[in-house]
Structure 1
Amino acid sequence: MKYKINIINKCEKKFLLIKKIWNLKNDNNSKFSLIIKPNRIELKNNSLSSQKNIWVNFNYKNYQKYKKDKKIKIIKAIKIKKNKFINIIDATAGLGKDAFIFFSYGCKVTMIERHPILSILLFDGLKRGYKDKKIGHLIKKNINIIYNTSMNINQLNIPKPDVIYLDPMFQKKKNNALSKKEIRTIQNLVKYDLNTNLLFQKCFLFCKNKVVVKRPKNEKTISKKKPNYNIKTKKYRFDIYLK
């Protein structure tokens, strides 16, 4: 099945590759535009003219910013200790911010993203990240992406990770890792049709040590299973499920 989106082609080589791998179909009436430029690929929300286009950046500037922030609760949730290398699967990668935070703290990260447009942005961000003069070699070695649904996690021929991280799309609201306009764009782009309880069960069976689930602070848990503990911030919480 082809995914329909308005395609603005400014780089024929990239366009042909994307069209072949992701099976896209041009739709001039789409609410979104995928802008394929020689230097990067961007997503435009055609209904929000004041919003800047969205693209993924895996670069040294962001790497330094995350690495210097010792108070990031997400790091406490996955319990990354100094000099300990952890393998993590971000099973709902989105735009890859959390995955890049994990990488910045020394983790080996596999991102899984089921939505074609988000996965295109991630692939493009990684490809540009490989060229970063300071950390490109580290990105190439320690971050990869799989375009698939995490519902198939036990069929993807990947090693079991220490930790699986879940940040599923919510019906009412999304976490604040992105700006509000970006949140609206992603919510409109990605349909809420994922059985999160089943996804959690599959991830819990597949991981070695634990699953970490990000939730709005006052929302119910993703599963009937009670988390072993949680870590809270002002607007959201991390539910931790130990094996």
Structure 2
Amino acid sequence: MSEPQLSTRVRVEPLDPIFADMARAWAERLGLPLQGEADFALQVGAAGLQLVELVEHGPGPVRVDFVEGAAAHRRLHGGGSGQMIAKAVGVQPGVRPRVLDATAGLGRDAFVLATLGCPVALIERQPLVAALLEDGLRRAAADAEVAPIVARMQLHGADAIELMQAWAGEPPQVIYLDPMFPHRDKSAQVKKEMRLFRPLVGADVDAPALLAAALALATHRVVVKRPRKAPAVEGVKPAYALEGKSSRYDIYPKKSLKPGD
């Protein structure tokens, strides 16, 4: 995702005075003010961090929750290894590839893959989004059922292209990309998150460079998630695609995934 837009003002605020020290720590870490005029607020409360737009009749706060809500429903009833994302990254009997999600966002897709048993490294370069994700992972680690899943998830707050180009250690077998795109999805949840994040993250104008870096690093394949009717990312053409009702997974294979790899 792109860097925050300079015109967007964000402050940190506690939802209760008992969270004042925690709010101050986040403000110092992110270089944000604790008061003053702002377009958005990163709020600290009993339920962790949440980001909210400070407008009348706004879309409501966004937070990361891997324990309850949609994440829990998909974990319990999402279809397991039959899900399209599982097929896209190469999950099969005896194969749980090491995945790098280089555009982690709120971590939903990475959590699905970790639920299926894949070790997943996550990169998120927008500091506010990375903070929400870090907080969600921390809270999930305290839940007995979800802790073993998030233990397979390792978050990096960094620029994905730079980190991939300077990758140290064993390279990922699969790199998963979901670049920001002008979504036309009409669901309330997507509209809320897009309204919140669009001013903060912009569009992924460097998606071609992101794809090139991923292709240079991944040992087995690169997967790019796109809206179903969107063009492929500029550059190398995908070998094939898996298409669903609203999304499409463009596959760039390099080597077959086999048990024991």
Tell me the alpha carbon deviations over residues 52-77 of structure 1, each in whole angstroms, 9 at most, x when there is no partner.
21100122763563353225321221
Tell me: CA distance 1:125–1:25, structure 2 relative to 1, closer, same or farther (3 Å).
same
Classify 1:124/1:59 alpha carbon distance in 2 versus 1 (closer, same or farther; 3 Å).
Answer: same
- Where does residue 153 of structure 2 map in the other structure? 143
SS of 1:7 mapped into structure 2: strand
CA RMSD, 1 decimal: 2.5
**Counterparts in 2 of 1:73 and 1:85: CA distance versus 1, 3 Å:** closer
Question: Once the two structures are superposed, what CA deviation does each residue of 1:100-146 show, in whole Å capped at 9, x if it has no partner?
Answer: 11111111111100001000000000100110022314422x01110
> Is residue 221 of structure 1 aligned with residue 232 of structure 2?
yes
Shift of 1:7: 1.4
Which is strand-richer, 1 or 2? Answer: 1
CA contact (8 A) 1:45 1:185 kept: yes
Kept in 2, the 8 Å contact 1:15–1:36? The answer is yes
- Structure 2 partner of 1:195: 206
- Which structure's relative contact order is higher, taking Cα pairs within 8 Å and 6+ residues apart? 2
Task: Give distance in 2, aligned partners of 1:82 and 1:184.
Answer: 40
Q: Which residue of 1 aligns with 2:257?
A: none
Which of 217, 226, 244 lines up with 1:233 in the alignment?
A: 244
Contact 1:6 1:33 in 2 (8 A): yes
Match of 2:10 among 5, 9, 12: 5
* Residue 86 of structure 2 corresponds to residue 75 of structure 1: yes
Contact 1:56 1:124 in 2 (8 A): yes
Q: 1:220 to 1:138 in 2, by over 3 A?
A: closer
Cα distance between partner residues in 2 of 1:187 and 1:145: 22
Aligned residues: 241
In structure 2, the residue matched to 1:42 is 50
Q: 1:199 to 1:234 in 2, by over 3 A?
A: same
**CA distance, structure 2, for counterparts of residue 163 and residue 128 of structure 1:** 27
* Partner amino acid, structure 1, of 2:44: I
Spell out structure 1 runs of 4+ moving beyond 4 A.
Answer: 1-4, 174-178
The answer as to 2:40 corresponding to 1:32 is: yes
C-alpha separation in 2, matches of 1:208 and 1:48: 49
Q: Percent identity?
A: 27
Q: What is the aligned counterpart of 2:194 among 165, 178, 183?
A: 183
What TM-score does the superposition give when structure 1 sets the normalisation length? 0.88
Would you say the 8 A contact 1:5–1:25 is kept in 2? yes
- Give yes or no for contact 1:197–1:222 (8 Å, CA) kept in 2: yes
What is the CA distance between 1:156 and its match in structure 2?
Answer: 4.6
More divergent stretch after superposition (58-67 vs 196-205): 58-67
Provide the rounded CA distance (Å) in 2 between the counterparts of 1:236 and 1:65: 17
1:118 to 106, 129, 135: 129
Structure 2 residue runs without a partner (length 5+): 255-261
Structure 1 unaligned runs (5+)? Answer: none
Q: Give me the whole-angstrom Cα distance separating, in 2, the residues matched to 1:226 and 1:175.
A: 25
Measure, in 2, the Cα distance between the counterparts of 1:226 and 1:50.
Answer: 40
What SS does the corresponding residue of 2:33 show, helix, strand or coil? strand
SS of match in other structure, 1:24: coil
Give the drift of 1:175: 6.6
Indicate if the aligned counterparts of 1:60 and 1:132 stay in contact, CA closer than 8 A.
no
TM-score normalised according to structure 2 size: 0.83
The AA in structure 2 aligned to 1:6 is: R
Give, as a single letter, the amino acid of the residue that structure 2 aligns with 1:69: G
